[in-house]
Amino acid sequence: MMSFFKKIGKCIANLFITKHNTMTNIVLFGKPGAGKGTQAEVLKEKYDLIHLSTGDIFRFNMKNDTELGKLAKSYINKGDLVPDEVTINMLKSEVEKHTDANGFLFDGFPRTTPQAEALDAFLATKEWKVTATIALEADDEVLVQRLLERGKTSGRADDQDEAKIRNRYEEYNEKTAPLIDFYQGQGKFHSVNGIGEIEEVTSRLSEVIDQL
C-alpha cells in the first residue's frame, strides 16, 4: 500500500507538472510602432501573464539614471540595439522576480538570434519554453508615421527623429527579422494583421492564443 507520504509526494509532483504544462510564454514580435506594447497591456490582463518589455525596463532605468540606464541611453537614443549580454542579463533577472507566474508576455525581446537562443536555454533551466511567437504585421511607411506622431507626445528621443526611426528599422531588418526563420523552424511562428482598431487586433491575437 502506498504510504501517506508517497501519496502526498505524488500530488505535489502532479501539481508541479500541471503548472509547467499550462505555462504560456508568448513572444510578441513586430517592428517598432507595430503596437506590441498596447496589445501587451490588454493581453496581460486577459490571460493573467507577466508583461516584460525590455524597452520599458531600459526607459525606467534611464529615467532613474541607474548605471544600466546610462549605458542603455547611449544606444537607445541613436536607435541602435543595446548589446546582447546586457539585455539578456536584465531580462533574466526580471523573469526571476516572477517565478510563480502563469506565463510571460515578452515584448521587444528577443531581438537577435543570440537573445532567442539565450531565452530558450534560460527557460529550459526552469523546464519552461516559449509557447508561441506572434508577429504584428504592418507596413513600414505606416509605422514610421505612427512613430513620428507618437514622438510628439511620448517624449521619447528615439521617436522624434526620422533618421533614428529609420535606423531602428535597419536594426530590425538586419538583426531581428532572422528570428522569423528561427521560430518557424521550431513551428512556433504565427502572425496577424497589426492594422486596425485596438480591439480588432486583440481579437486576432486572441484567436491564435486560444488555440495554443
Catalytic residue ranges: 36, 111, 150, 156, 168
Residues in 57-116 at the binding interface with ligand AMP, rule: CB under 6 A: 58, 75-76, 79-82, 87, 108-109, 111, 115
> Which residues ranging from 121 to 150 are in contact with ligand AMP (CB under 6 A)?
none
Q: Is 157 helix (H, G, I), strand (E, B) or coil?
A: helix
Provide the pairing of β-strand 103-107 with 132-137. unpaired
- How far is Cα 98 from Cα 151, in angstroms, rounded to an integer? 32
- Spell 53-75 as b/e; 16+ CB within 10 A means b: bbbebbbebbeeeeebbebbbeb
Among 31, 51, 146, 168, binds ligand AMP (CB under 6 A): 168
DSSP sequence for 75-86: HHTTTPPPPHHH
Q: How far apart are CA 51 and CA 54, in angstroms?
A: 10
State the minimum distance, in angstroms, from the CB of residue 5 to ligand AMP: 46
**Based on CB atoms, which residue is closest to ligand AMP, 24 or 167?**
167
Using CB under 6 A as the binding rule, whether residue 172 contacts ligand AMP is answered as no
Nearer to ligand AMP, 4 or 170 (CB): 170
Return the residues of window 6-35 that contact ligand AMP according to CB under 6 A: 32
Chain residues that interact with ligand AMP, rule: CB under 6 A? 32, 54-55, 58, 75-76, 79-82, 87, 108-109, 111, 115, 158, 168
